[in-house]
Amino acid sequence: MRGDERWDADDVRSLRELYPGLRRFAAVVSRPDLDPDDLVQEAFTRALVARSRSEVPNLGAYLRRTIVNLAKNERRRLARGSVAQARLVPSEDAVTAPPSDLSDLLRLDPVSRGLLFLVEVEGASIREAAVAVGCTEAAARMRLSRARRRLRAELEAERRDE
Amino acid sequence: MSELRHRLDEIAERGEPRGVDAVIAASTAEAERRIVTPLLAPSRRRTPALVMLAAVVVSALVVGVLVLRADDGDNRPRVNATSNPSMTTPPTTATTTAPPSTIFPPPSVDFSAVDFDHVAWIDGTALVTASSSDTTPRVVAQGQIERPQFSADGRWIAFVQDGSLHVRRAGGDGDIDLGSSVRPFQWSPTGELLGWSAGTDGYGQLRVTDPATNTTTSIPGAGDVTDFAWSHDGRSLAVARVVPGTATTGFEIVGADGSATRRVVFTPPAGDALGFNLLVFAGWQPDGAAVLVWVDPGGSASAMQDGLDLWLVPVDGSEPHLLGKTLLKREWLQWNADGSRLAIVRGTWRGVYDGARTVTVCRTDGDCTPISGDDVATMDPAWSPDGLQIAYVSKPATQPMPEVRNNKANWRALYAARTLWIANADGSDAHPVDAAGGGVASPRWTRDGARILYVRDDALWAVDLAGRTETNVLGPIAPVPQFQYGYRSNLAPPDAPYEAGSNNGYPTWESLVTWTP
């Protein structure tokens, strides 16, 4: 397939419309030291390279899955300790150095954070959120349940400490 | 769970959005590169059957030699080998093979308009050399070739071939394979010592190799070497290390033989709660009194792409000078001949079309003066040999986004607005060099000051400043990257083959062509 058969101006326009929401999504699922725009940009690039627009019926979900995968890859890379910054800190939690009231959330894996964001903030159904992050609906329910339970416990612990 | 929603929303809004225009432009440009590059590379040239046969025979010989030499494997420098300051490693494995013959009609080289003896360039998957005494271009290595660099004495050339650092004689014969996982490497500004860092899992150690004697010395020290830089006299190296779990407190100065280590304390405002700053060297002050250091707060790759604070840090511990924010492009830092003034390009933001760029001349006391106003963007400074003038490239301060049609961004139209200028060191008497045309990059003066070399249309040109005539010195070569723009997968900073300057949007000629000093 030639490059000029892949995407036309209207298709690129659709990327433009998706950008604000995708950036927010990327900010939630990625490591806090990564620029969310970098993930969105890479997701756009992969979409432009890999698929013709007609082959991607749900472009938003496709891009969100790509962003989640990129975030997971970064997380794995960090776990391998392959960059200086990663090596600098003694544990994954310390990498984030987030404001303390966000650290609980940032300890969740990217998929769970993405699910929580889509369901709690964006108002997506669990089915829609599952498609967007690339898991089954059952798995999404399980992840959401675990994440909420864990966060609830940690929030309560915070309150007790206060 | 309203509290949860609030916290998620807070995370979702973090950071300063780059903007949809910038992200779309960078994505389409990068997508174009990924689509076009694999299509072009294999079909650029046809390899005659006899050459293929010869290649097979040579390969078989090489494999045979390597098999026979398997028992000598301990002599090869080991990645992550234990450092010993007093120990010089045995000779590295060196394979002397006949350079492959030229396999295609390469571009001619016109040495009449230049003052170098050897030139090497990447052409597709080949490293090609030519010299004034033997102007026939020769392919000396093939594969994924990166970053060719001649030694200061012009006798050797180092390059990365398929991820492994190699050193050959300038003519292409002999080969020293220094192994894979190589990160930064740099020839000593004097003589022929090659400093290089390599490691696995990101842990780098610094080594110095003398190709003449084929010996490698490990430079000891705790932690991971993230960058280094030779002093101009070739006697010392500035070394930046990261020690897990500790804050950044400065860097080391160490002798080329690993002796006489001393520490330079440098603690700019920390990038994160742990006090971590990644230090990237931009070179030394020519008299050795100070080191130029970029500070990357928290080691952020994104921050690096958009420019970092550049500091001139005296090695005697006195007060450092902040010279401004610049992109990480070492070619954009140029000392004049007597080392009293440094031309830098102040600027931020990776975008090629609207990033601020101003050639600025700084003294060693930190006093800096821009040579152009806000109405233009100026870059690519190059001092005249007498240090009185600067050649540079100028373009409109802001340009419209490139037109994107059928998934192709027309970056070339933006480059066409870049013209060659000459001004006095204080910016006065600025005038264009019209004979060079549009689309100019990377100017360099010849030693006699009579000509300026520059890049245009993927070729190297020379303009005679007296007669205002230009000569095509080399090329066009191919494939020159159409652009190096945008996200680069968070490569560890010193590893990035094109530095962050890749994100300026035009071909990084310096990474493709090198010539003897």
Dump the DSSP string for A64-90.
HHHHHHHHHHHHHHHHHT-SHHHHHSS
Q: Do B274 and A89 touch (CB under 8 A)?
A: yes
pLDDT greater than 60 at residue B59: no
Q: Label residue B339 left, alpha or beta by phi (over 0 means left) and psi (-120 to 50 means alpha).
A: left
Task: Kindly state the average pLDDT of the residues B461-477.
Answer: 86
CB-based burial of residue B63 (10 Å sphere; 0-12 exposed, 13-18 middle, 19+ buried)? exposed
pLDDT greater than 70 at residue B454: yes
Q: Under a CB-based contact definition with an 8 Å cutoff, are residues B219 and B239 in contact?
A: yes
Q: Do B202 and A7 touch (CB under 8 A)?
A: no
Per DSSP, the three-state class of B470 is strand
Among B31, B32, B201, the residue with its CB nearest the CB of A81 is B201
CA atoms of A7 and B223, how far apart (whole Å): 48
- Hey, what are B469's tokens? 């005539």
Per DSSP, the three-state class of B405 is strand
Least Cα distance to A12 among B143, B20, B204 occurs for B20
pLDDT greater than 70 at residue A76: no
DSSP H helices in B345-490: 411-415
CA B8, chain centre distance (Å): 41
CA atoms of B117 and B464, how far apart (whole Å): 19
pLDDT (0 to 100) of residue B408: 58
User: Could you tell me what percent of chain B has a pLDDT over 70?
Assistant: 73
pLDDT (0 to 100) of residue B225: 87
pLDDT (0 to 100) of residue B372: 93
- Hey, what are B249's tokens? 């407190």
Task: Kindly state the average pLDDT of the residues B251-269.
Answer: 89
pLDDT (0 to 100) of residue B407: 59
| Model confidence, pTM | 0.63
Confidence of residue B106 (pLDDT cuts 50, 70, 90): low
Task: Kindly state the average pLDDT of the residues B408-412.
Answer: 64
Confidence of residue B85 (pLDDT cuts 50, 70, 90): very low
Task: Kindly state the average pLDDT of the residues B315-334.
Answer: 92
Task: Kindly state the average pLDDT of the residues B470-496.
Answer: 47
CA atoms of A133 and B233, how far apart (whole Å): 56
CA dihedral A75, A77, A82, A83 (to 10 degrees): -50
- Lowest model confidence (mean pLDDT) among A47-56, B41-50, B288-297: B41-50
Task: Kindly state the average pLDDT of the residues B69-90.
Answer: 31
CB-based burial of residue B155 (10 Å sphere; 0-12 exposed, 13-18 middle, 19+ buried)? middle
CA atoms of B105 and B125, how far apart (whole Å): 14
Tally of CB atoms within 10 A around A55: 10
Length of chain A: 162
Q: Name the range with the highest mean pLDDT among B74-88, B162-176, B465-479.
A: B162-176
Residue B285 to residues B89, B152, B268, B419, Cα–Cα distance (Å): 31, 18, 19, 29
pLDDT (0 to 100) of residue A75: 64
CA atoms of B168 and A24, how far apart (whole Å): 50
Average confidence score pLDDT of chain B: 76
Place of tokens 């992109």: B327
Please indicate if any CB of chain B lies within 8 Å of the CB of A59.
Answer: no
CA atoms of B397 and B244, how far apart (whole Å): 42
Task: Kindly state the average pLDDT of the residues B192-210.
Answer: 81
CA atoms of B172 and A62, how far apart (whole Å): 49
User: Nearest chain B Cα to A49, which residue?
Assistant: B31
pLDDT (0 to 100) of residue B167: 95
pLDDT greater than 90 at residue B412: no
Beta strands in B211-320 (DSSP E): 215-219, 224-230, 236-242, 250-255, 262-265, 277-284, 290-297, 308-314
pLDDT greater than 50 at residue B66: no
Beta strands in B86-175 (DSSP E): 118-123, 126-131, 138-142, 145-150, 156-161, 164-169
CA atoms of B480 and B501, how far apart (whole Å): 15
Task: Kindly state the average pLDDT of the residues B70-74.
Answer: 32
Q: How far is B271 from chain A (nearest CA, A)?
A: 11
Contacts for B59 with CB less than 8 Å, ≥ 6 apart? none
Query: What does DSSP say about strands B376-383 and B408-409: parallel, antiparallel, or unpaired?
Result: unpaired
Is the model more confident about B62 or about B396?
A: B396
User: Nearest chain A Cα to B227, which residue?
Assistant: A84
Q: How far is A82 from chain B (nearest CA, A)?
A: 5
Task: Kindly state the average pLDDT of the residues A23-35.
Answer: 86
CA atoms of A66 and A116, how far apart (whole Å): 17
Q: Name the range with the highest mean pLDDT among B47-61, B68-82, B112-126, B154-168.
A: B154-168
Please indicate if any CB of chain B lies within 8 Å of the CB of A75.
Answer: no
Task: Kindly state the average pLDDT of the residues B460-480.
Answer: 81
Residue B109 to residues B22, B93, B128, B140, B448, Cα–Cα distance (Å): 39, 33, 11, 16, 20
Confidence of residue B459 (pLDDT cuts 50, 70, 90): confident
Confidence of residue B39 (pLDDT cuts 50, 70, 90): very low
Is the model more confident about A40 or about B82?
A: A40
pLDDT greater than 60 at residue B7: yes
Task: Kindly state the average pLDDT of the residues A127-149.
Answer: 86
Contacts for B105 with CB less than 8 Å, ≥ 6 apart? none
Contacts for A10 with CB less than 8 Å, ≥ 6 apart? none
Average confidence score pLDDT of chain A: 74
- Hey, what are B243's tokens? 């020690």
Suggest the residue from B5, B7, B239 to mutate for an interface test with chain A (most A CBs closer than 10 A). Answer: B7
Cα angle B199-B175-B460, degrees, rounded to a multiple of 5: 90
Chain B residues touching A38 at Cβ < 8 A? 301-302, 487, 490
Indicate whether this complex's ipTM tops 0.85: no
pLDDT greater than 80 at residue A5: no
User: Nearest chain B Cα to A112, which residue?
Assistant: B8
User: Nearest chain B Cα to A18, which residue?
Assistant: B20
CA atoms of A118 and A22, how far apart (whole Å): 11
Q: How far is B187 from chain A (nearest CA, A)?
A: 24
Confidence of residue B453 (pLDDT cuts 50, 70, 90): very high
CA B340, chain centre distance (Å): 24
- Hey, what are B509's tokens? 């000629």
CA atoms of B440 and B194, how far apart (whole Å): 31
Within 79-108 of A, beta carbons closer than 8 Å to B belong to: 80-85, 87-90, 94, 97, 101-102, 105-106
CB-based burial of residue A137 (10 Å sphere; 0-12 exposed, 13-18 middle, 19+ buried)? middle
User: Could you tell me what percent of chain B has a pLDDT over 90?
Assistant: 34
CA atoms of B388 and B150, how far apart (whole Å): 28
pLDDT digit string, tens, across residues B327-359: 888 889 999 999 999 999 999 876 667 778 999
Please indicate if any CB of chain B lies within 8 Å of the CB of A69.
Answer: no
Q: Do B15 and A27 touch (CB under 8 A)?
A: yes
Beta bridge partners of B205: B198
Suggest the residue from B407, B484, B488, B495 to mutate for an interface test with chain A (most A CBs closer than 10 A). Answer: B407
DSSP state of B78: P
Q: How far is A138 from chain B (nearest CA, A)?
A: 21
Q: Under a CB-based contact definition with an 8 Å cutoff, are residues A154 and A104 in contact?
A: yes
Chain A residues touching B298 at Cβ < 8 A? 33, 85
CA atoms of B375 and B416, how far apart (whole Å): 17
- Lowest model confidence (mean pLDDT) among A105-109, A116-120, B70-74, B300-304: B70-74
CA atoms of B34 and B118, how far apart (whole Å): 32
Least Cα distance to B485 among B387, B415, B428 occurs for B415
Task: Kindly state the average pLDDT of the residues A102-111.
Answer: 78
Chain B residues touching A44 at Cβ < 8 A? 23-24, 27-28, 31
CA dihedral B145, B150, B155, B160 (to 10 degrees): -30
Please indicate if any CB of chain B lies within 8 Å of the CB of A44.
Answer: yes
- Hey, what are B50's tokens? 């006899």
Confidence of residue B150 (pLDDT cuts 50, 70, 90): very high
- Annotate B261-286 with three-state secondary structure: CEEEECCCCCCCCCCCEEEEEEEECC
Confidence of residue B109 (pLDDT cuts 50, 70, 90): confident
CA atoms of B419 and B434, how far apart (whole Å): 8
